[in-house]
Amino acid sequence: MNHELDHPKDTGPELPHEDFRCGTVALAGRPNVGKSTLLNALIGFRLSIVSPRPQTTRHRILGIATSEAGQILYVDTPGLHRGAKRAMNRSLNRAARSAISDVDLVVQVIEAGRFTDEDEALYAALVEQSSPRILVINKVDLNKDKTVMLPFVTELVTKHSYDEIHYVSALKKQGLSELEQAILKRLPVQPPQYADDEVTDRSERFLAAEMVREQLMLRLDQELPYATTVEIEQFSDRPDGIAEIHAIIWVERDGQKAIVIGNGGAQLKAIGSGARRNMERMFERKVFLKLWVKVREGWVDDENMLKKFGYTD
């Protein structure tokens, strides 16, 4: 599998058959509704990082699903949220907003039984776009009592207009093939933009940073994950076939550094081995991962630092 492709091909392959479809689909929604879980389920590959915490995704991430019928270019996005006071949060919202324009279709993901002010704000932004929109009601596995869904959806559609509504469990992989069919039929007939074995346009370097960040989201408490980011300082393939990766975990304060390292380095070791395991699975080779923790005061509020750390989209 080639994860390294940075640019789409100049000339795509021949049209496999005359009604082959290809287009871009944004997965949008407020934080934590399951957009990244859905992306991974739809492409059949664990590409985008997932955690139980809101604001896990910080970048737009392209995931490619190619079948006989077509090629769907899914764009996972940071959760659109309100009251974004810090520069980092504003950057997340900018990335989310830019990802919903210039696409062939938007899938708005919500949680079963809940339509919050943030869902409403996203809907208002979608109405301003001309692209068709599908509502995905995710996490239906959590609703044991199915009868409560009917009044919820009835109420929803009196005030909102969607081209289609789908009930899905991204976690349990339910309702996905119907959703895929609905998406595909709304995409333009055109040749694929990527080779059929490609899953993303993101580099291994980017994905390595994400996998360290996923461990931070999973293992650190309270606000600490939001004070961290990851920079890959070195990514090189050694002659023995091992990928050597050096990453810096940036935090805002000395006290945070001590917590990330943990007692006798135990926390940092757990972060490293969790990330390394996932990298080896994704990169299909052995990984030697070295981590450092460094302090950069106020980076979360500093536009220039955000740029340096890759938050530019």
Ligand X SMILES: Nc1nc2c(ncn2[C@@H]2O[C@H](COP(=O)(O)OP(=O)(O)OP(=O)(O)O)[C@@H](O)[C@H]2O)c(=O)[nH]1
Does 36 help bind Mg ion (rule: CB under 5 A)?
Answer: yes
Which CB atom, from 63 or from 78, has the smaller least distance to ligand X?
Answer: 78
Helix 254-261 to helix 266-283 angle (10° resolution) is 70
Whole-angstrom distance, CA of residue 301 vs CA of residue 104: 34
Q: Which of residues 51-80 bind Mg ion (CB under 5 A)?
A: 56-57
- Among 27, 69, 71, 36, which Cα is nearest to 54's? 36
- Strand 61-66 relative to strand 70-76, pairing: antiparallel
How near is the Cβ of 39 to ligand X at its closest, in Å?
Answer: 8
Nearer to Mg ion, 78 or 272 (CB): 78
Q: Nearest approach, Cβ of 187 to ligand X (angstroms)?
A: 22
Whose tokens are 């990335």? That residue is 95
> Helix 35-43 vs helix 176-184: angle between axes, to the nearest 10 degrees?
80
Please provide residue 77's backbone torsions phi and psi, each rounded to the nearest 5 degrees.
Answer: -135, 155
d(CA 205, CA 190): 31
Q: Verify binding: residue 138, Mg ion, rule CB under 5 A.
A: no
Q: Which stretch binds Mg ion (CB under 5 A): 30-38, 104-112, 229-237, 295-303?
A: 30-38
Binding site for ligand X (CB under 6 A): 29, 31-37, 50-52, 54-57, 78-79, 138-139, 141-142, 169-171
Closer to ligand X by CB, 122 or 245: give it: 122
For residue 48, the minimal CB distance to ligand X (Å) is: 7
For the bound state, the minimum distance from the C-beta of residue 290 to Mg ion, rounded and expressed in Å, comes to 27
User: Could you tell me if 113 and 149 are in contact, meaning their C-beta atoms sit under 8 angstroms apart?
Assistant: yes
Nearer to ligand X, 32 or 66 (CB): 32
The nearest distance, CB 191 to Mg ion, in angstroms, is: 30
Using an 8 Å Cβ cutoff, are 274 and 236 in contact?
no
State the binding partner of 141 from ligand X, Mg ion, none, CB within 5 to 8 A by kind. ligand X
Return all residues near 79 (Cβ < 8 A) that are at least 6 apart: 29, 30, 31, 32, 33, 35, 54, 55, 57, 92, 96
DSSP single-letter state for residue 290: E
* Closest to Mg ion by CB, 79 or 192: 79
Q: Which residue is nearest to ligand X (CB)?
A: 79
Site residues for Mg ion per CB under 5 A: 35-36, 56-57
